[in-house]
Chain A
Amino acid sequence: MSVVLLPVGCGIKGSDMGGTDWNDIIADYQDTSQTVVFDNLARLNLALAQTGQLAERAFTYTQAGPGGLIPEWGQKPRTGALLSDIFYSMGYVALSQRYAFETLVQDEPEYSDRMLARLVETNLIFGAYPVAEKYINRLEDRDKLRRSAVSYRAFLYDDSAVEADSVLGAKRRCIPEDDFLSDEGTLGEQLKIIIRTNPKHRATVDYLGMIYLLDCNFDAFKGMLDEFYGTLALESLPVSFSEAACMMSEIYPDYWKSVGVDIGIYRRYTDFKKLLESGRSPEKYRKTYWYYVMMVNSL
Chain B
Amino acid sequence: MNAGRICIINQMPVRWLAVALLCISSLSCSGGIDIEGSLEGAPAIFPDYAGVTIPVNMAPLDFRLDSDCESAAIISNGDDSILVKGPEFRIPMKAWKRLTAGGGDICVRVLVNKDGKWLSYDPFGIKVLDAPIDRYITYRLIDPGYETWNEMGLYQRDVETFTETAIIRNTVTDRNCMNCHSFSDRRHDRMVFHMRAQHGGTYVIKDGSIEKLNTKTPETISALVYPQWSPDGRYIAFSVNDTFQAFHSSSPDRIEVYDTESDVVVYDTETRTLASSRLLMSADRLETFPSFSHDGRTLYFCSSPQVKMPEEYRQVRYSLCSIGFDPETMTFSDTVDTVYTGGSSTFPRVSPDGRYLMFTEAEFGNFHIWHKGADLKVMDLNTGEMLNTGDINSPDVESYHSWSGDSRWVVFSSRRLDGLYTRLFITHLNEDGTFTKPFLLPQQDSRYYDRLYKSYNIPEFVDDRVDVTEKEIVECAFNSSGTDVKFRK
Could you tell me the distance in whole angstroms from the C-beta of A138 to the nearest C-beta in chain B? 8
Most buried by B among A134, A177, A180, A184: A134
Report whether A126 and B252 are in contact in the complex, using a CB–CB cutoff of 8 Å: yes
Could you tell me the distance in whole angstroms from the C-beta of A55 to the nearest C-beta in chain B? 23
| Size range of the chain B interface in the assembly | 20 to 34
Report whether A102 and B244 are in contact in the complex, using a CB–CB cutoff of 8 Å: no
Given A95-B247, A102-B147 in contact, is the A184-B420 Cβ separation under 8 Å? Answer: no
Q: Chain A contacts of B252 at CB under 8 A?
A: 126, 128
Partner of A183, one of B147, B310, B418: B310
Q: Is B335 an interface residue (CB 8 A)?
A: no
Given A108-B151, A109-B151 in contact, is the A182-B419 Cβ separation under 8 Å? Answer: no
Given A105-B148, A106-B150, A183-B310 in contact, is the A111-B246 Cβ separation under 8 Å? Answer: no
Could you tell me the distance in whole angstroms from the C-beta of A191 to the nearest C-beta in chain B? 11
A102 to B310, CA, bound (A): 23
Report whether A101 and B145 are in contact in the complex, using a CB–CB cutoff of 8 Å: yes
Given A98-B146, A131-B420 in contact, is the A176-B151 Cβ separation under 8 Å? Answer: no
Q: Is A130 an interface residue (CB 8 A)?
A: yes
Interfacial residues of chain B within 275-320, with CB under 8 A of chain A in the complex: 310-311, 313
Report whether B250 and A181 are in contact in the complex, using a CB–CB cutoff of 8 Å: no
A130 to B421, CA, bound (A): 10
Report whether B149 and A181 are in contact in the complex, using a CB–CB cutoff of 8 Å: no
Interfacial residues of chain A within 152-208, with CB under 8 A of chain B in the complex: 175-184, 190, 193
Q: Is B24 an interface residue (CB 8 A)?
A: no
Q: Chain B contacts of A184 at CB under 8 A?
A: 246, 310-311
Q: Is B488 an interface residue (CB 8 A)?
A: no
Partner of B150, one of A105, A178, A179: A105
A109 to B454, CA, bound (A): 11
Given A109-B151, A128-B420, A134-B418 in contact, is the A181-B247 Cβ separation under 8 Å? Answer: yes
Report whether A183 and B419 are in contact in the complex, using a CB–CB cutoff of 8 Å: no
Q: Is A75 an interface residue (CB 8 A)?
A: yes
Q: Is A133 an interface residue (CB 8 A)?
A: yes
Report whether B250 and A175 are in contact in the complex, using a CB–CB cutoff of 8 Å: yes
Report whether B417 and A176 are in contact in the complex, using a CB–CB cutoff of 8 Å: no
Q: Is B450 an interface residue (CB 8 A)?
A: yes
Q: Chain B contacts of A175 at CB under 8 A?
A: 249-250
Could you tell me the distance in whole angstroms from the C-beta of A105 to the nearest C-beta in chain B? 5
A194 to B251, CA, bound (A): 14
Q: Is B248 an interface residue (CB 8 A)?
A: yes
Report whether B246 and A130 are in contact in the complex, using a CB–CB cutoff of 8 Å: no
Report whether B246 and A176 are in contact in the complex, using a CB–CB cutoff of 8 Å: no
Partner of B419, one of A102, A109, A131: A131
Report whether B419 and A176 are in contact in the complex, using a CB–CB cutoff of 8 Å: no
Q: Is A137 an interface residue (CB 8 A)?
A: yes
Q: Chain B contacts of A193 at CB under 8 A?
A: 249
Given A102-B148, A105-B148, A106-B148 in contact, is the A94-B453 Cβ separation under 8 Å? Answer: no
Contact flags B397-416 to A (C-beta < 8 A → 1, else 0): 00000000000000000000
Given A128-B252, A130-B418, A184-B311 in contact, is the A105-B149 Cβ separation under 8 Å? Answer: yes
Could you tell me the distance in whole angstroms from the C-beta of A137 to the nearest C-beta in chain B? 6
Q: Chain B contacts of A130 at CB under 8 A?
A: 417-419
Report whether A181 and B248 are in contact in the complex, using a CB–CB cutoff of 8 Å: yes
Number of A-B contacts (CB under 8 A): 79
Q: Is B261 an interface residue (CB 8 A)?
A: no
Q: Chain B contacts of A177 at CB under 8 A?
A: 250
Q: Chain A contacts of B450 at CB under 8 A?
A: 134, 137
Partner of B251, one of A75, A109, A179: A179
Q: Is B256 an interface residue (CB 8 A)?
A: yes
Q: Chain B contacts of A94 at CB under 8 A?
A: 247-250, 254
Partner of A181, one of B246, B420, B453: B246
Q: Is B143 an interface residue (CB 8 A)?
A: yes
A105 to B150, CA, bound (A): 6
Could you tell me the distance in whole angstroms from the C-beta of B350 to the nearest C-beta in chain A? 34
A133 to B450, CA, bound (A): 10
Report whether A179 and B250 are in contact in the complex, using a CB–CB cutoff of 8 Å: yes
Q: Taking CB as reference atom, which chain B residue is nearest A130?
A: B418
Partner of A179, one of B143, B249, B310, B418: B249
Report whether B249 and A190 are in contact in the complex, using a CB–CB cutoff of 8 Å: yes
Report whether A179 and B248 are in contact in the complex, using a CB–CB cutoff of 8 Å: yes
Q: Chain B contacts of A183 at CB under 8 A?
A: 244, 246, 310
A192 to B311, CA, bound (A): 18
Interfacial residues of chain B within 102-154, with CB under 8 A of chain A in the complex: 143, 145-151
Most buried by A among B147, B250, B251: B250
A184 to B149, CA, bound (A): 24
Interfacial residues of chain B within 384-435, with CB under 8 A of chain A in the complex: 417-421
A184 to B248, CA, bound (A): 10
Report whether B250 and A98 are in contact in the complex, using a CB–CB cutoff of 8 Å: no
Contact flags B212-251 to A (C-beta < 8 A → 1, else 0): 0000000000000000000000000000000010111111
Q: Taking CB as reference atom, which chain A residue is nearest B145?
A: A101
Could you tell me the distance in whole angstroms from the C-beta of A124 to the nearest C-beta in chain B? 13
Could you tell me the distance in whole angstroms from the C-beta of A262 to the nearest C-beta in chain B? 36
Q: Chain A contacts of B147 at CB under 8 A?
A: 75, 102
A179 to B248, CA, bound (A): 6
Partner of B310, one of A95, A133, A181: A181
Q: Taking CB as reference atom, which chain B residue is nearest A193?
A: B249
Q: Chain B contacts of A95 at CB under 8 A?
A: 247
Q: Taking CB as reference atom, which chain B residue is nearest A178?
A: B250
Interfacial residues of chain B within 303-356, with CB under 8 A of chain A in the complex: 310-311, 313
Q: Taking CB as reference atom, which chain A residue is nearest B396?
A: A130
Most buried by B among A131, A133, A193: A131
Report whether B250 and A176 are in contact in the complex, using a CB–CB cutoff of 8 Å: yes
Report whether A75 and B148 are in contact in the complex, using a CB–CB cutoff of 8 Å: yes
Q: Chain A contacts of B143 at CB under 8 A?
A: 101, 105, 108
A109 to B313, CA, bound (A): 35
Most buried by A among B148, B310, B450: B148
Given A94-B250, A184-B310, A193-B249 in contact, is the A134-B421 Cβ separation under 8 Å? Answer: yes
A106 to B248, CA, bound (A): 22
Partner of B249, one of A105, A134, A176: A176
Q: Chain A contacts of B256 at CB under 8 A?
A: 181
A-B residue pairs, 6 tightest by C-beta? A130-B418, A181-B246, A182-B247, A183-B246, A108-B150, A179-B251
Can you give 10 A-B contacts (C-beta < 8 A)? A94-B249, A95-B247, A105-B150, A106-B148, A137-B450, A176-B249, A179-B249, A181-B313, A184-B310, A184-B311
Chain A contact residues, CB within 8 Å of chain B: 75, 92, 94-95, 97-98, 101-102, 105-106, 108-109, 111, 126, 128, 130-131, 133-134, 137, 175-184, 190, 193
Taking A108-B150, A130-B419, A134-B418 as given, write out 9 further A-B residue pairs in contact, using a Cβ cutoff of 8 Å, ordered by the A residue number.
A75-B147, A97-B254, A98-B247, A105-B149, A108-B143, A175-B249, A179-B248, A181-B310, A184-B246
